[in-house]
Amino acid sequence: MIEVRGVRKSFNNNQVLRGVSFEVMEGETLVIIGKSGCGKTVLLKHLIGLIEPDEGDIVVDGIVVNRVKREELLELRKRFGMLFQSAALFDSLSVEENIALPLKEHSSMSKETIARKVKEKLALVGLEKIEHLKPSELSGGMKKRVGLARALVLEPSYLLFDEPTTGVDPIMADRINDLIIDLQNRLKVTAIAVTHDLRSAYKIGTRLALLSEGRIGFIGTLADIKNSKDPAVVEFIRGYG
């Protein structure tokens, strides 16, 4: 379980997070929605200690992420898989090397086993025979799917998605949404996604949270958000529609 307790964060006097608190239950997909630039990615990066909060705590399985030693933090991160907004594939490595890297670093598997695992994960995201390609040779949608395969390779307990459908066409966005739902059903992992794409949020989310003015203004199920009279929620939904 993940708990975020009163997290505050400022960059150069610009207060981005002003006391964010919420919990993520085992096995659910919590989607954090909000306008572009409202601090969603900053919040997501706090969860795996890529950014430290000025105040507040992030607790994962009872471990306070922002207070542990670096070695413990590196160990804790193995429980996470993250899909970055730009996929963040390593330019100098091939698709196969990108996906294999976490395994090479953290396991004693043979080259053959690693190659088999890479094929498996690529098949899971609907890709094949692209192992030898470099990221620069892939389309935006393919990059996202390779990024997803890489996020899955250590078989994490938690999956983090940063704007999973941004930068791809609506058809590919739908395929990525379906893929996330399919993976969620098959692997039963706990997932947190941040997005400003309400259509994607409705499709993949078990619960939705609205980040507004640096705080979680609303958190609830799909039905709750549709029936909400909260002005920030209404404005965001109306603005989208």
Report d(CA 181, CA 239) in Å as an integer: 26
User: What is the smallest separation between the CB atom of 148 and other proteins, expressed in angstroms?
Assistant: 13
In angstroms, give the least distance from the CB of 238 to other proteins: 32
* Gyration radius of the chain's alpha carbons: 18
Q: Which is nearer to other proteins, 84 or 236 (CB)?
A: 84
- Rounded-to-integer distance, Cα 222 and Cα 237, Å: 12
Residue 102 CB, shortest distance to other proteins, in Å, is 4
CA distance 31 to 198: 10
DSSP string, 6-54: EEEEEETTEEEEEEEEEEE-TT-EEEEE--TTSSHHHHHHHHTTSS--S
Toward other proteins, which CB reaches closer, 88 or 181? Answer: 88
Which residues of the chain form contacts with other proteins (CB under 8 A)? Answer: 45, 48, 50, 74-75, 77-78, 80, 82, 84-86, 88-92, 101-102, 104-106, 150, 154
Shortest gap between Cβ of 151 and other proteins (angstroms)?
Answer: 9
End-to-end CA distance of the chain: 33
Of 48 and 142, which has the nearer Cβ to other proteins? 48
Nearer to other proteins (CB atom), residue 152 or residue 216: 152
